[in-house]
Amino acid sequence: MTPHGTQGATVGVIGLGYVGLPLAVEAGKGGFNVIGFDVTEVVTAKVNEGQSHTQDVPSEEVAALREAGVLEATTEMSRLAECDVILICVPTPLSKTRDPDVSYILAASEAVAGGLRKGQLIILESTTYPGTTREVMLPALEATGLSIGEDFNLCFSPERVDPGNETWNTKNTPKVVGGITAACTEAGAAFYGKFLDTIVPVSSAEAAEMTKILENTFRAVNIGLANETALIAERLGVDIWEVIEAAATKPFGFMKFTPGPGLGGHCIPVDPHYLSWKMRTLNYKTRFIELASEINSEMPYFVVGKIREALNRRRKGVNGSKVLALGVAYKRDVEDVRESPALDVIRLLEADGATVSYHDPFVAELQEEGTHLSSVELTDAAMAEADAVVILTDHSDFDYQRVVDASTVLVDARHVAPRKVGQAGSSWIVKG
């Protein structure tokens, strides 16, 4: 490819998912030549055809960068040697025992090391435990004989992607960056400053890694508090959402978090456990994290209990009932089902003998642990024929009044369905 980028440098992005592709597009729009790397040929082919495969990146932007000659995608990792800056945006999942799986980071590090040359800047964006950049990546890169801070620079800069957020995106969300050395931090901050709005340098890679973990642990713990308070309120016969709205009128000292069917997504249910694992190696128990995880993981059981209670009022059991789930994505107006609590609710209902169908305008097909379902059309007849309808994801384009009118039994795990003034009973059961 003939370079057309005004910055005169080539940026390589390893991993073209929900983090990597938006970053590649912003770097391209900022004047860099960009090479996207991915192990999946379908992904690289779509990018080269000018198409986006992620919700937050319009295909028009990819097509424009392709036409301008500043973006291409490849599966050939040997081309990393062409890049002046390399951004690593690979998955960092947890194992079944909640241990961090850094195999993708190791593979990316080895691929970078294979073509590492003087002057390159390497930045890890994948969320992980404090110490990963220094303890896992640095040895692999220094094994080439090149020296950190002199021959090459290495930083950590946490991704802060919020899928479906129309206000905060890759460009305007403040970018934290911390390097192995002060020179690394300076190089990383200078690079991001060329195409992102706000840069927040910190003193080390570990500080940057810990920043990301704190952000999502804060949310996980506070959602856990909201969920436990909801369980308490249920036992006291108090409407938890009324309490939360009243508390939110306080102009200081309170931040609103709401209960729901559980935690979902790529970050909040997972990231705090990176820190838990790290601290276990240092003989320290992260009590808040473990407790919040325990409470949040109980919420799908609570929601199924509400469905059971609502059916019982109609002298029906879960076994043999038809349940229609509205929404299976982990949050409003996204197509992502990773760690979605809706999947847990569906599995629990099926284990109890229910026949479950779902409607989600963003998720046409659902395949989890051997179960394959397709989104059904949301008709009045479909809702009326269901023994119970349960709202699991509060998508914006659902007509909730219509859902209330058409349903015989309705459980609302997101508190979005209209209620009658002074309506008695559980704040989770709208009709039943």
136: three-class secondary structure by DSSP: helix
List, in order of start, the domains of the chain with CATH numbers. 10-203 (3.40.50.720), 217-431 (3.40.50.720)
Give the C-alpha separation, 156 to 158, whole Å.
6
CA distances from 394 to 333, 382, 412 (A): 8, 19, 9
Quote the tokens at residue 428.
């989770």
CB-CB contact of 389 with 363 (8 Å) = no
Give the C-alpha separation, 329 to 55, whole Å.
13
Helix (H) or strand (E) holding 205: helix 205-236
What pLDDT, on a 0 to 100 scale, did the predictor assign at position 427? Answer: 83
- Average pLDDT of 319-344? 94
Alpha-helical runs (H) found in 30-137: 41-48, 59-68, 103-114, 132
CA angle 86, 195, 36 (to 5 degrees): 35
Instruction: Tell me whether residue 267 is one of the annotated catalytic residues.
Output: yes
Give the C-alpha separation, 44 to 42, whole Å.
6
Look at residue 2 and tell me whether its pLDDT is greater than 50.
no
Look at residue 424 and tell me whether its pLDDT is greater than 90.
no
CB-CB contact of 117 with 41 (8 Å) = no
Mean pLDDT of the chain: 92
Helix (H) or strand (E) holding 388: strand 388-391
Contacts of 25 (CB under 8 A, 6+ apart): 57, 61, 62, 65, 71, 170
- β pairing state of 410-412 and 355-359: unpaired
Q: Write down the catalytic residue from 89, 155, 184, 267.
A: 267
What pLDDT, on a 0 to 100 scale, did the predictor assign at position 1? Answer: 31
Per-residue pLDDT reduced to its tens digit, 336-375: 898 899 999 999 999 999 999 999 999 999 987 767 899 9
- β pairing state of 371-374 and 365-368: antiparallel
Per-residue pLDDT reduced to its tens digit, 228-251: 999 999 999 999 999 999 999 999
Identify the CA nearest to 138 among candidates 171, 179, 104: 179
Per-residue pLDDT reduced to its tens digit, 367-414: 877 678 999 999 999 999 999 999 999 999 999 999 999 999 999 999
Quote the tokens at residue 48.
């080269």
Question: The tokens 């990383």 sit on which residue?
Answer: 188
Beta bridge partners of 10: 33
CB-CB contact of 430 with 411 (8 Å) = yes
Residue 93: count other Cβ atoms within 10 Å of its Cβ: 12
Task: Write a three-state SS string for 132-166.
Answer: HHHHHHHHHHHCCCCCECCCEEEEECCCCCCCCCC
CA distances from 347 to 33, 82, 344, 354, 430 (A): 46, 47, 5, 10, 23
Quote the tokens at residue 210.
């810990």
